[in-house]
Amino acid sequence: MDFKLTEEQLMIQQAARDFAQTELLPGVIERDEHSKFPADAVKKMGELGFLGMMVDPKYGGAGLDSVSYVLAMEEIAKVDASAAVVMSVNNSLVCAGMEKYCSEEQKQKYLVPLAKGEVIGAFCLSEPEAGSDATSQKTTAIDMGDYYLLNGTKNWITNGSTASTYLVIAQTDVEKGHKGINAFIVEKGWAGFEIGPKEKKMGIRGSDTHSLMFTDVKVPKENRIGEDGFGFAFAMNVLNGGRIGIASQALGIAQGAYELALKYAKERKAFKTEIINHQAVAFKLADMAVNITAARMLCFKAAAEKDNGEDISISGAMAKLFASKTAMDTTIEAVQIHGGNGYVSEYHVERMMRDAKITQIYEGTSEIQKIVISRGIAK
């Protein structure tokens, strides 16, 4: 295996790093405090090609590989995890799912503006009762002939009010179970489609998270993705790739916290020497470095397998499981290294600790990743 990045990959990494430092770092604390969506930064991310990184250029994307995506996600998440999750959803869930499974007409109408970053999308699976259990959809889409009648509620939807295009998973035939589930493209502004209040969250406060309500929303037949009953398979396949995005976000949060803790440890003095010279601190940093490197390799492995067209259900779950734990562990220790300063916002690490927790929850909890992995290795 070649661990050396290509010249193009290094350029993408540097471009993302420069963008994060110049466009995201200023104001990141204020956006967190006021739960402010980074609208201007997201617009610029689109202009730079960060919202459709892996989409074929013929559909408006950058046509890059998944490793480049991991590199860019890490750099963005190092500074602002809220901006990173917008990027992750648009790339890994919305654009990836549409490019692979949508019709040519659907791609031209919806994928092109999404890949260009002219608009952003949302992936609507979770529900008040179902959570991550895609087989227990309460949202229904009744076949009315030339259209479906959509009714139900979706929860915890990233880009909930800022998206223009929504991929909605709904049950069409209850008797068929998961084979009676479909995926639909829904537009903002359609009659009966309402957006609930923004959620007040512990972390990633800048991201736009809402509940969505559908009341007799008419969805044209041509907006169904794939054949009738394909919705469950669509959701599962898309989520497999989405785990790479979340793992990369977790990786970035961990790396950002580690860099801040390392810098602080080299400057802060206690007992007449910099605290990095005390083993209690140095060993924490050593553990961070090892785990972050391991998490990065798992992300690269999953990304490379995706580019090779391999099954990434296990590798993606492993990357997300380990990277999210690494993010949580690293940020907790980063706060500890900062001492009292770690508990105040100006040092950033307390925000990173709050942001890290969500990476263990969305796209399936850590327990769900273990289910995926254990089932895979048992085959």
Alpha helical stretches, state H, 277-312: 279-307
- To the nearest 10 degrees (0 to 180), the angle between helices 313-338 and 231-267 is 30
Burial letters for 322-361: b for 16+ Cβ neighbours within 10 Å, e otherwise? Answer: bbbbbbbbbbbbbbebbeeebeeeebbbbbbbbbbbbbbb
CB count in 10 Å sphere of residue 195: 17
Distance CA 77, CA 172 (A): 37
Instruction: Establish whether 222 is a catalytic residue.
Output: no
Closest C-alpha among 137, 152, 167, 156 to residue 197: 156
Which of 199, 274, 363, 367 is labelled catalytic? 363
Asked if 286 contacts 355 with a C-beta cutoff of 8 angstroms, the reply is no
Instruction: For residue 6, give Cα distances in angstroms to 64, 68, 249, 257.
Output: 12, 9, 21, 26
Catalytic center residues: 363
